[in-house]
Amino acid sequence: MHVIHAEWTKLRTVVSTPWLLFAAVAVTVGISATVTATAGNRLCPTPSTCLDDLPKLSLTGAQYGQTLIVVLAVLVMSEEYTTGTIGVSLAAVPRRWQLYLSKAAVVTAMVIIVGSFGALGSLLAARRVLPGAAVGAANGDHRLSLADEPTLRAVYGTVLYLALVALLSYGVAAVLRDTAGSIATILLLLYVAPILTSFITDPQWLNRIEQLSPMLAGLKIQATTALDTLPIGPWQGLGVLAVWAAGALLAGLLSLHLRDA
């Protein structure tokens, strides 16, 4: 607990931390509200035939707010190598696994808090803008309530998704030990699959990409409608991201143990 407290103090006193956290929430809520405002069913024969998956739509901003989470999680590890303070940290905490897991716990807790603000703020913003988009309560926006089980799962699933992205980023940073290289690697890992799906037309390959991509599979946790048509289920998709994160964490821990500080 002393190590966790020290890492918490270290992270919260870094100047960039509050700005990154604020930006993550602002981007998530702002983009979610903007995208949700485009929803409407004026041209639908009946509201139920073409209404969007509103909970998923209202949480769209998480796809973009996660970039700030990536930066924060990478800096937690890479910045110590950049400044050379990793030697001081290891001198204070000789058990490397203890230092490594304490950092991971702190960044995870912080991302869960920030992710909760972002997800709940997005849901609240969606409830405010949907009436202006001609989506009344009778047409489905009553589902944007935490009393609705699929909506609740989409919200806390989004928070878990962001926490796993943070752990994935943290593990990669522990391996690469370079801020720019780590951020670039994670962003490529997250966003290259959605780009590929724009060009690939083979259904089998599209399904494989969506089942294996950490971002596309992980974000299935937001889906609340037509679940039987998804290439992978919501919890299974989040499990794929969890495997990616666990692999990165293990690689980072081994790297810390086997290489010089």
Q: How far is 190 from 82, CA to CA, in rounded Å?
A: 24
| Dihedral, 165, 168, 173, 179 alpha carbons, nearest 10 | -20
Q: How far is 214 from 132, CA to CA, in rounded Å?
A: 34
Q: How far is 17 from 74, CA to CA, in rounded Å?
A: 12
In sequence order, the 6+-apart residues with CB closer than 8 A to the CB of 59 are: 32, 119, 122, 123, 154, 155, 158, 222
Q: How far is 178 from 74, CA to CA, in rounded Å?
A: 9
- The pLDDT value recorded for residue 81 is 86
Q: What is the pLDDT of residues 204-244, one digit of tens each?
A: 988 999 999 999 999 999 999 888 889 999 999 999 999 99
Q: Is the pLDDT of residue 105 over 90?
A: yes
Q: What is the pLDDT of residues 134-174, one digit of tens each?
A: 454 444 445 678 888 999 999 999 999 999 999 999 999 99
Q: CA separation (Å) from 10 to 75, 82, 103, 170, 249?
A: 12, 15, 10, 16, 21
Give me the count of residues in the chain: 261
Helix (H, G, I), strand (E, B) or coil at 114: helix
In sequence order, the 6+-apart residues with CB closer than 8 A to the CB of 230 are: 220, 223, 237
- The pLDDT value recorded for residue 11 is 76
Q: CA separation (Å) from 206 to 201, 202, 224, 243?
A: 7, 6, 21, 20
Q: How far is 14 from 157, CA to CA, in rounded Å?
A: 28
Specify the long-range contacts of residues 88-95, CB closer than 8 Å, at least 24 apart: 90/261, 92/6, 93/3
Q: Domain residue spans in the chain?
A: 2-258
Reported as a pLDDT band with limits 50, 70 and 90, residue 258 is: confident
| Dihedral, 140, 239, 213, 26 alpha carbons, nearest 10 | 50
Task: Please state the pTM of the whole predicted model.
Answer: 0.90
Q: What is the pLDDT of residues 45-104, one digit of tens each?
A: 444 445 568 889 899 999 999 999 999 999 999 988 888 788 888 888 878 888 899 999
Strands (E), 83-232: none
- The pLDDT value recorded for residue 6 is 77
Reported as a pLDDT band with limits 50, 70 and 90, residue 43 is: very low
- The pLDDT value recorded for residue 51 is 57
Reported as a pLDDT band with limits 50, 70 and 90, residue 131 is: low
